[in-house]
Chain A
Amino acid sequence: MIPEDTQTKEQTEMAATGGVPDQTQQDAPESAAHVERKTGHSVEVQGLKAFYGDSEAVHGIDITFAANEVTAIIGPSGCGKSTMVRCINRMHEEIPGAHAEGSIKLDELDVYAPGVDVTAVRRLIGMVFQKPNPFPTMSISDNVAAGLRLTGTKGENLRERVHRALRAVGLWNEVKNRLNEPGLGLSGGQQQRLCIARTIAVEPEVILMVEPCSALDPVATLKIEVLIDELKSRYTIVIVTHNMQQAARVANTTAFMLNGDLVEHGPTNEIFTKPKDERTERYVTGKFG
């Protein structure tokens, strides 16, 4: 099922050559590329329906996100892909009037089961947003520590965990001399990596990314893509993207959504080269959407 496809190999080469060579060499022991593999956890979505008020945006979706894999969700604007992903860590219900039905299982845990603490779910399932959103009142290191402090994690090795998260996103060498400066002083791409560091500092099991590169230039995008490829050795990653090349570059499997339905989900190279559904083919070849 796991395709050892060309995309992944290209990606690894990119990481070695065009990516972030300085960090990889200097901080070799801590760098994410050398972080020991960790068996992740799969997410199984069953019959998921999502509503905004009375209008149904997602019409009953079944999809499984395999552990330690990157799954890309593609589809035209308004097809419900972001809504679906926001259901996974129960952020969807933060929108006034919105609710979801169905079940989403992280291993054996149904995150929608009654009595489940949403804050505990969100600690297990982290999220990176479209626009980099560091906390404006906090310094670079406080931003990374924010997740730990906000969840009331007590201070043992806080500093070390901050540094480890910054190394893991390849930001350490760029910011190590200005950890106490405001997080907003970084460039857009650095801010987004800071937000990823903030997310992984709380050590989630799954990372959801909602168009994480759509506000970034190609160089910053490449760095994030390299990072995503490294992170999957530890985490299960779901990425929503409008950029089909990005899906082709980073994802093991790709799912195509249309009008609130899941049309097709399969290995990325199959989705892009020989999709089973005609609508998928028309979308990936740019004939609509």
Chain B
Amino acid sequence: MSAGKITLDTLPSISGRRRNVDRAMRGLMWAAITIALIPLVLVVYYLIHKGVGQWKGSFFTTDPNGNFFGNHGGIRSALLGSLELIGIASAIAIPVGIGVALYLTEYGKDSAFANAVRYFVDVMTGVPSIVFGLFIYITLVISNVGGSSFAGWKGAVAVTLLMLPIVIRSAEVVLLLVPNSLREAALALGAPRWRVITRVVLPTSLSGLVTGSLLAIARGMGETAPLLFTVSYTMNLTGNPNTLMNSLPVQIYNDIHSPEAAVQARAWGAALTLVALVLILNLIARAFSRRSRMT
């Protein structure tokens, strides 16, 4: 090389091969995105296309009635039943789950027992939901615990088992984000550990805990398999969790099997309702996690 000035001409130009590889790789990535998006867009399209027409008149205010002719009724019992089931499941899974996470981060830390708990929680995360349903079917349903065979609360317990590992894992991650310096500051002031947890650790991680819990609720709400043979199905509205109850996923499951077109159409409306509920929960969760990032 001579000692001349560096100009554009002194740089080696980009080779044709590099240009082609670049173009090919970009093309492949676009193809991957398209393949991933097509089913997603189609699902949303069909849901809205077929479901939104059902959202009218008495759809949310009447129960399915099983008539062969005329009005088939709406989804009131399914909607309220789903909310009651998820309410019971959340009332158990969220406090217990956060309690377990608190044990792991504040007390157990790296002890052998805590690591064993973590391992089992991980395994539970991977267990298919129908297995939880089967487990509840064997332990609670066929032995008629509580004087009932199929019952709402048994389905709620199955959903609880499904939600627990999600709550535990997400809560543990959030609790670990609380800087240790805050725990030390509180301990050095002479605070007992439980007050450090209730006054410093929990308030600091609150929004993250809410986010994780809402995502677990969203996940639990859409599950069908654990409800099918724990709660079974009824068209009637009931608030009593010790009897058969209706729920959105099971209603959809049953309606789809109907020969009646109008009943099948109701399944679309119910499916759209379910997706809308999950979407709302996700949006609230995102709002909370954004708030936590700002503080």
Partner-B contacts on A (CB < 8 A)? 89, 91, 94, 96, 119-124, 126-127, 129, 131, 133, 135-137, 146-147, 149-152, 195, 198-199, 202
Contacts and interface: CB of A to CB of B under 8 A. Distances in A.
Given A126-B188, A147-B189, A150-B186, 13 more contacts: A122-B189, A124-B190, A131-B181, A135-B186, A136-B295, A137-B295, A147-B191, A150-B191, A150-B199, A151-B191, A151-B195, A195-B185, A202-B189
A133 B179 contact: yes
Interface in B262-295: 295
B73 to A, nearest CB: 49
A131 B182 CA distance: 10
B204 interface: yes
Contacts of A198: 185, 189
Contacts of B187: 91, 94, 122
A135 B185 contact: yes
Contacts of B190: 119-124, 147, 150-151, 202
Closest 3 CB pairs of A and B: A123-B190, A150-B191, A127-B188
A126 B189 contact: yes
B107 to A, nearest CB: 11
Contacts of A96: 109-110
Interface of B: 109-110, 179, 181-192, 195-196, 199-200, 203-204, 206, 295
A150 B189 contact: yes
A136 B295 CA distance: 8
A147 B203 CA distance: 16
A119 B187 CA distance: 7
Contact of B181 (A123, A124, A129): A129
Contacts of B110: 96
Contact of B184 (A94, A121, A152): A94
Given A120-B190, A133-B179, A135-B200, A152 B195 contact: yes
Nearest to A89: B188
B188 A122 contact: yes
A52 B129 CA distance: 44
Counting chain A CB atoms within 10 Å of each CB, the highest count among B184, B185, B200, B206 belongs to B185
A11 to B, nearest CB: 26
B191 A119 contact: yes
22 contacts: A89-B188, A91-B188, A94-B183, A94-B187, A96-B110, A120-B190, A122-B187, A122-B188, A123-B190, A129-B181, A133-B181, A133-B182, A137-B203, A137-B204, A146-B200, A147-B191, A150-B195, A150-B199, A151-B191, A151-B195, A195-B185, A198-B185
B192 A119 contact: yes
A135 B181 CA distance: 10
Given A129-B184, A135-B182, A136-B204, A151 B109 contact: no
A146 B186 contact: yes
Nearest to B178: A136
A94 to B, nearest CB: 6
A120 B191 CA distance: 9
Contacts of A124: 190
Contacts of B179: 133
B149 to A, nearest CB: 48
Nearest to B183: A94
Contacts of B192: 119
Contacts of B186: 135, 146, 150
Nearest to B110: A96
Contacts of A137: 200, 203-204, 206, 295
Contacts of A122: 187-190
Contacts of A150: 186, 189-191, 195-196, 199-200
B204 A123 contact: no
A74 B109 CA distance: 33
Q: With a 10 A CB-CB cut-off, give which of A120, A137, A149, A151 has the most chain B CB atoms.
A: A137
B188 to A, nearest CB: 4
Contacts of B200: 135, 137, 146, 150
B184 A123 contact: no
A149 B186 CA distance: 10
A129 B185 contact: yes
A151 B200 CA distance: 13
Most buried by B among A89, A129, A135, A202: A135
Contacts of A94: 183-184, 187
A148 to B, nearest CB: 9
Which residue, B179, B188, B191, B199, has most C-beta atoms of chain A within 10 A? B188
Contacts of A127: 188
A197 B187 CA distance: 16
B103 to A, nearest CB: 15
Given A96-B110, A129-B181, A149 B199 contact: yes
